[in-house]
Amino acid sequence: MPDRKGDRAELLELGRRYLDALVLGDPGHVPLTSDYRATENGAMTKSGEGLWHTARSFPGHPSLVCDEVLGQVVILGAVETTSLQPIALRLRMRGGAVAEAEAIVSSSAHGFFADVDKLLHSDLIYDAPLPAGRGASREDLHAIADSYWIALGESDGSLVPIHYRADRFANGKKVTNNLEILLSPDKAFHSIASLLTATRPARPQVREKRFPILDAERSVAVSIAMVDFADDPRNPRPDTGCFYVTNLLKITDGQIRIIDAIHQILPRGSSSGWRADDESST
């Protein structure tokens, strides 16, 4: 078992202080390491730039999850800028200070595949501990979270274990088992598995996979990836390009129980600006 790099309560408190500092526009309100590094939608941002200027509040009750072994916190919710926007924020802590901040701030807030207002009240399922034997080890969390990206890359929903109660939410919007999606460009009624399989015409290419949260006590994982989608000539649609995605997953009984995803569409081939896990010593 790796050594712990932080106490859960301390990590979450530092995450909340970082949000407060962004709202104040004051980097001095939270301890930052001397080599602090931050990005927003893949672009480098210096201390005091980006969200430090634009964030007005983080309303409601965002999801805060952490990994004491890796010393990381991930926050999913909404940020008030000039409007309400979906946000995923990854923070790496070191020595009681924030060393890394990676933000996905989505411009997709409402529509068939986004409903930012639903992000104001996070699902309490992510905080719930699981009885013995019904959760997953860190290794299993990694494998199951990765199986989602493998299934997406192969456009084969049978490659990922899905709980029969599972649903996926994208930028707050329930995009599975939702009849409203029949009126969307997909024109389909999807489960998580069928949603993955339906991507085949777009030939998804999954890159830069990372797994910053593997919380065995709560059986929660967070994974981040860049996914390039090609245009489908048979079904032209505006949402093609590179999807920069953070997935928050609850794993029960060896299966994905729920997925909350925050995404922003960037030009194909875009990079997050961070190294994939297989390129890092972490």
Mean pLDDT, residues 129-156: 97
The answer, yes or no, to whether residue 279 has pLDDT greater than 80, is no
156 phi, psi to nearest 5 deg: -140, 95
Beta bridge partners of 44: 39
The rounded mean pLDDT for the chain is 93
Are 144 and 223 a contacting pair, CB within 8 Å? no
DSSP state of 57: B
Tens of pLDDT, residue by residue over 20-38, are 999 999 999 999 999 999 9
The answer, yes or no, to whether residue 236 has pLDDT greater than 70, is no
Q: Where are the beta strands (DSSP E) in 155-233?
A: 162-170, 173-174, 205-215, 220-229
First to last CA, the chain: 14
Band of pLDDT at residue 184, cut at 50, 70 and 90: confident
Q: What is the dihedral of CA 75, 243, 172, 42, to 10 degrees?
A: 30
The answer, yes or no, to whether residue 2 has pLDDT greater than 50, is no
Tens of pLDDT, residue by residue over 47-68, are 889 999 999 999 999 999 999 9
Tens of pLDDT, residue by residue over 58-108, are 999 999 999 999 999 999 999 999 999 999 999 999 999 999 999 999 999
| Whole-number Å distance between alpha carbons of 131 and 135 | 7
Q: What is the pTM of this model?
A: 0.94
pLDDT of the residue at 1: 42
Band of pLDDT at residue 239, cut at 50, 70 and 90: confident
Maximum separation of any 2 CA atoms in the chain, in Å: 53
Tens of pLDDT, residue by residue over 255-265, are 999 999 999 99
Ordered DSSP codes for 106-145: -S--EETTEEGGGGGB--GGGG----TTSS--HHHHHHHH
Hunting for tokens 């104001």 — which residue is that? Answer: 120
264 CA to centre of own chain: 11
pLDDT of the residue at 122: 93
Domains identified in the chain and CATH numbers: 8-120 (3.10.450.50), 130-270 (3.10.450.50)
DSSP state of 71: T
**Could you tell me the sign of the dihedral formed by the alpha carbons of 53, 103, 117, 244, in that order?**
positive
DSSP state of 176: S
Band of pLDDT at residue 4, cut at 50, 70 and 90: low
Beta bridge partners of 214: 221
The answer, yes or no, to whether residue 280 has pLDDT greater than 50, is no
Those residues whose C-beta lies under 8 Å from the C-beta of residue 139, and which sit 6 or more positions away, are none
Query: Which residue has better confidence, 134 or 186?
Result: 134
